Structure 1
Amino acid sequence: MMDLIRRYLWLAFLLLGIAGFAFVWLVIPREPEIEKLWHLYAKLATYGCILGFIAFFPNRLKYGHLLVYAPFIIFLGFLIPRVSFFGVTGNVIVTNFESVGEWYTLLYLLVVQMINFSVSFAYRMGGGTPGKTIKISLLATITLFSGFLDLAFYTINPVEIPEGGLIYAHHIIVFLGHAPSYDETIVFALCHIPLFLLVLFAPLDKWFQRISQRVQSRGKSEAAISS
């Protein structure tokens, strides 16, 4: 019985966490104020269940390191586009254009990359190999600059594609030389799939091991000659 509990404890936490998240997201008002104390307890209980899922998740899976990349899909496909939407419609750009640069830098260059590095570092500290650690960070970065985020902005938010059908994504403009259309952005994103797969299946750890062995072999040879 105890062995069964240990084996599936993570799953129980996961199901409770999903239920708690759905309740918090759909039932509790999205207000900065805490109107009722049980709202706070519900959020803390949900947090505890999700943390329990992470803590007891079986980490001996062949491709388990790819699950570390999975949250970036939600982050770049939903959270950041929504934050961007509220930043734009909240008149950050319209009424205070001078703050756009700082807003962009804080959101995209600091918040996104700090999460990228934090997740990668946590994976490495948890025993991840150098190659897989690099892959997690690179896959997230490729997803960020592929155009996936720009397409998600017009998909999940109640906004229409800009007049003329052009998407002013500067990281795409620098490659194409012009603002891409919505369809061109889709093609641009799809063109990143080969790069994504290349990083995914690259035997980085084997390469690092060979380099290390060559360095050690050369060091031993030099030591033998000097002696």
Structure 2
Amino acid sequence: MELIRRYLWLVFLLLGMIGFLVVWFAIPREPEIEKLWHLYLKLASYGCILGFIAFFPNKLKYGYLLVYAPFIVFLGYLIPRVSFFGVTGNVIVTNFETVGEWYTLLYLLVVQMINFSVAFAYRMGGGTPGKTIKISLLATITLFSGFLDLAFYTINPVEIPEGGLIYAHHIIVFLGHAPSFNETIIFALCHIPLFLLVVFAPLDKWFERISKRVQSRGKKEAAPVITS
């Protein structure tokens, strides 16, 4: 039983990954369910991945960084691909009036709701306040670092805009001009120190000290005054 308890998560992971690969490469990406086994395989893969998450050993020193890890895939692949289909699907090209709504829904609501949902789930699972904040901050730093903008032109079949400029407004507001592809790379790399600063910042210790000071001050104020 001890062996099963220790490695059950790994079994689920392997089965889930095999199922995912079959679904990704062997099943047509269509909304219709052509064969019933397609549905069964998708549900089985989901169940295995969920089992991996549920039984994963969570007593690791820097385990909270694994909670951040999916954001790399999310911001480095999924969102750039969704953005690509939004652009090439004429959401922006032929219906420019809706671009603000499209941008708001995708980047300000979907991305941030996933950010907050992951952070809240970690906190509800027993995560400390400091590490909970770190998870959300690391995801936000990644989002605005230029990583996503670079990924858009790397994983999608599109060329860098004419003149080699990337019109990322969250970068333009800092540089004062549209950056080139190479400038965007440098801009992204400049976020590494900020990333590491967040990872190693002793937030929980700071919160603990602040809490003790507040409690100590509260006790002093509540102490009875003895007069002769």
CA distance in 1, matches of 2:183, 2:108: 24
Q: Are 1:223 and 2:194 matched, yes or no?
A: no
**Partner amino acid, structure 2, of 1:180:** P
Report the AA paired with residue 42 of structure 1: L
Q: C-alpha displacement at 1:39, in angstroms?
A: 0.4
In the other structure, the counterpart of 2:168 is 169
Question: How many Å separate the matches in 1 of 2:85 and 2:28?
Answer: 18
- Find the aligned partners of 1:153 and 1:183 in 2 and give their Cα distance: 14
Q: Give the Cα separation in 1 of the matches to 2:86 and 2:73.
A: 19
Give the match for residue 126 of structure 2: 127
Residue 115 of structure 1 corresponds to 114
**Matching residue's letter, 1:5:** I
Match of 2:57 in 1: 58
Q: 1:226 to 1:106 in 2, by over 3 A?
A: farther
Deviation at 1:14, TM superposition (A): 0.3
Q: Check if 1:21 corresponds to 2:20.
A: yes
Compute the TM-score of the two structures, normalised by the length of structure 2. Answer: 0.98
Q: Name the counterpart of 2:74.
A: 75
Q: Match for residue 10 of structure 1?
A: 9
State the one-letter code of the partner of 1:148: F
Count of matched residue positions in the alignment of Structure 1 and Structure 2: 226
- The DSSP-based 3-state class of the residue aligned with 1:205 is helix
Segments of 4+ moved more than 6 angstroms: none
**Matching residue's letter, 1:191:** C
CA shift, 1:226, in A, is: 4.8
Quick check: which one's helix share is greater?
Answer: 1
For 1:136 and 1:201, the matched residues in 2 are separated by: 12
Deviation digits for residues 184-207 of structure 1 (CA, Å, limit 9, x no counterpart):
000000000110011110000000
Give the RMSD, CA atoms, in angstroms: 0.7
- CA displacement at 1:225 relative to structure 2: 4.2
Calculate percent identity across the aligned residue pairs: 88
In 2, the alpha carbon distance for the partners of 1:27 and 1:178 equals 45
1:78 corresponds to which letter in structure 2? Y
Query: How is 1:92-111 mapped onto 2 (pairs within 5 angstroms)?
Result: 92-111=91-110
Map of 1:147 onto structure 2:
146
Structure 1 residue aligned with 2:185: 186
> Alpha-carbon deviations, 1:19-60, whole Å to 9, x = none?
000000000000011111110000000000000000000111
**Superposition TM-score, scaled by structure 1 size:** 0.98
Q: Which amino acid aligns with 1:127?
A: G
- Closer, same or farther in 2 for the Cα pair 1:226/1:32, shift >3 Å? farther
